[in-house]
Structure 1
Amino acid sequence: MTVFRVAAGAAGLALLGEGVSLLRDVPGPGDVLLWLAGAVALHDALIAPLVLLIGRLLVRGRLRGPVRGALLVAGALTLVALPPLLRPGPRANPSVLPLDYPRNWLITLAAVAAVTVVYAAARAVLRARRGDVRGQ
């Protein structure tokens, strides 16, 4: 597992470096940095605490981890989707935000929920095969 973590960390740092190098070409990089800082603050101040609280209140036992993971992914997807979601309605230029973003956001959230259910079910089946019934 340590090799995987080091490789994932190296890949993340490489992508971060690429993103920073591309930031030089953006007009008004201060605005981008402000948006990124706001996204981090929103995640740390709102999304993460809500995920932990909802996971604690709604789910008990071994399902808590997968549900918290799904809520965290859903929160991050919502954060990324907020700009197009908050600009509904017709636009003068139809090539700006041309897709049905609310529908696509809901489809993505449904896919996250479906993957979570499949993952939790597979985990339960594997646990039952091993005879591990603690905590249920």
Structure 2
Amino acid sequence: MSAGRFGAGAVGVGLMGYGVWLLVGTGSARDVVLWLAGSLLAHDAVVAPLVLGVGLLVGAVPARGVVRGALVVAGAVTLVALPVLLAPRPRANPSVLPLPYERNWLVVVGVVVGCAGALVAVRWLRRRAHPRRR
């Protein structure tokens, strides 16, 4: 093992120890355990079955690679935007989240869908214009 990897591992272990020290010191261990249990339950009861179901449906699509890629990107964007999208309304201080996040999220997902659709269309047109010789 190289010295750089060992050093990075030592820093990581040190940071985890510091996190545990902060967790125990603040007395919020119960809240963290509840959050972790809730996230595991949400993953196993909602996210995993949803991803498996969508994966089965996408398996029948002719351009499944492009569709899978678009779903991964849209899912990642949604996961990052979820805290802002689910922020409570109305806000006492509108300057905390001043932008139209819902609209912007829809625009980004729309661009992802549009790019995926354009890629599928270009591939389809190329196949029609240059059929394979058999």
Structure 1 pair 109/61, CA: closer, same or farther in 2 (3 Å)?
closer
RMSD between aligned residues:
3.6
* Structure 1: segments with no counterpart, 5+ residues: 1-16, 18-23
Normalising by structure 2, what TM-score?
A: 0.56
Say which SS state the counterpart of residue 71 (structure 1) adopts: helix
Deviations 1:75-101 (A, max 9, x none): 111100111111142322222110111
Q: Does 2:96 align with 1:106? A: no
Structure 1 pair 119/110, CA: closer, same or farther in 2 (3 Å)?
same
Tell me what 2:79 maps to: 79
Distance in 1 (CA, whole Å) between partners of 2:72 and 2:48 is: 7
Larger radius of gyration: 2
Distance in 1 (CA, whole Å) between partners of 2:128 and 2:48 is: 31
Contact 2:58 2:67 in 1 (8 A): no
Normalising by structure 1, what TM-score?
A: 0.56
Distance in 2 (CA, whole Å) between partners of 1:110 and 1:118 is: 12
Say which SS state the counterpart of residue 62 (structure 2) adopts: helix
Q: How does 1:58-77 map to 2 (within 5 A)?
A: 58=58, 60-77=60-77
